[in-house]
Chains A and B, each alone.
Chain A
């Protein structure tokens, strides 16, 4: 069963064709990676799937239902969650409150009980806070619960975003470069975290430049170049695909120390 299916998706910005005629599917319970050089259109694909941008053509299906024209928050309600390449934490709230926003959809109730802080609301808030703390522990950032993002290290913010995304109990989680800017140990921790998320039954679509992480963790890989699909398959297949090697991986990537193709 496919959690996500994308058909003929295209999007142009002025003259730039960021995504062209892209079709792929993500099977339930897998970790699916999206790789490609800078500017290939990976983030744009995420934005199209999550409803931040509207596509110029094509359709998106979540769990078999079409969501192409749905507003972003409605998609979230259907079980889609994501993180952002350039951190989008809520700087005006504590870390715990950030995660609570992730729980938002399960908490929202009528205006009056919220204004009056009704006992029912208080009960649910207590539970929500406990759950948010649990999620922070899961992501390894529980000690920052009452901190504001400005005082948290970069790596912790990346995990906080993941905790916030997982909080909505999504069916499909989109992770945009979760390891970018992290050192070796931090990257390994993120690797573990993604595995834990995958093991809990959440389907993951991952964009990442760290090839070692991608090859280790992915069930399937989709290679994007210039907005087009260049190849698709298991890590072993992609590694062998001559077209992919020529366009993107390069000979170096095949060596044992092929780690980082990050071009920054």
Chain B
């Protein structure tokens, strides 16, 4: 029991669960709960994205595109065509998955800045389509999204959404922690460590990269659908370049190749702009500054840097 409790895998997960379950009871009002829900959704996306960036070592600057595909699929299919929400969500996920799968092989042959450019282009194209196809998407003004309902049951109110988002994140974290420590997860990390060595060890690196890319894309799409239902409104900016950058920043700021780092990064960067909004016009200035300072002084990310500090304290 003790070992189970103190193993980073299980123990860390437990701490996270306790904190998250206690949170709604200490938050002063609905505004904070709203921020918390958004943070949970973002954290789910980042945990999935971290699989690709942190573990497999492949950058994506276009992930919001997949999020947008999910969000718009849900909005359009439920709103305009009257599909049931789960079916719309699945359709969006399938579309994202197919797109990701189709482009993954040629794109993931690229490295570094070339990969950054290709993924960036993919995301930007999605947001331009959303901007342009006014009749379907409402263009730059965005469109309303119906509440999430299924078989007569409607998810309503902040509390319900909080628990939904939490269950989703908890499941994601749990599955990811398992995956990272499995043969498949080690294969992914080996791709990051040295692609040639991974291949020489029998890892089908191309396939693994495709899997990581597709899984994280499908994942972003699903969360995009849910998030759209929750917020009730989407715009092309939700699929845009800056949004993609935000997700990557969350992952890197929290700490690459650390599942809890991705969660922490998402929470910080979701809450920060809300807190900074009291600075009004200075918001962007302060945000950019914080981003640069964190990366200069904690280049490995918040969680790994703090963990290293903690270890150094304990071991004299």
Contact = CB atoms under 8 A, between A and B. Distances in A.
Interface of A: 50-52, 71-73, 76-77, 81-82, 84, 88-93, 97, 100-102, 104-105, 107-109, 111, 114-117, 121, 125, 164-165, 168
Given A114-B182, A117-B178, A117-B182, A104 B203 contact: yes
A82 B205 CA distance: 17
A111 B205 contact: no
Contacts of B193: 89-93
B189 A92 contact: yes
B200 A121 contact: no
Interface of B: 57, 175, 178-179, 181-187, 189-190, 192-194, 196-205, 257
B204 A101 contact: no
Determine the main DSSP class of A at the interface with B: helix
Contacts of B200: 50, 52, 72-73, 76, 81-82, 84, 88, 165
Contact of A76 (B185, B189, B192, B199): B199
A109 B178 contact: no
Which has the most chain A C-beta neighbours within 10 Å: B185, B194, B199, B202?
A: B202
A102 B192 CA distance: 15
Contacts of B201: 73, 76, 81, 101-102, 104-105, 164-165, 168
Given A76-B202, A108-B183, A114-B178, A52 B189 contact: no
A92 B56 CA distance: 10
Given A84-B200, A107-B183, A165-B200, 5 more contacts: A73-B205, A77-B202, A82-B200, A104-B187, A117-B181
A152 to B, nearest CB: 14
A93 B183 CA distance: 13
Which has the most chain A C-beta neighbours within 10 Å: B183, B186, B203?
A: B183
Given A73-B203, A93-B189, A93-B190, A114 B183 contact: yes
B184 A114 contact: yes
B312 to A, nearest CB: 13
30 contacts: A51-B199, A52-B196, A52-B199, A73-B200, A73-B201, A76-B200, A76-B202, A77-B202, A81-B201, A82-B200, A84-B200, A88-B197, A89-B197, A90-B189, A90-B190, A90-B198, A91-B193, A92-B257, A93-B189, A93-B190, A97-B186, A100-B183, A104-B183, A104-B190, A108-B184, A108-B187, A114-B179, A121-B182, A165-B200, A165-B201
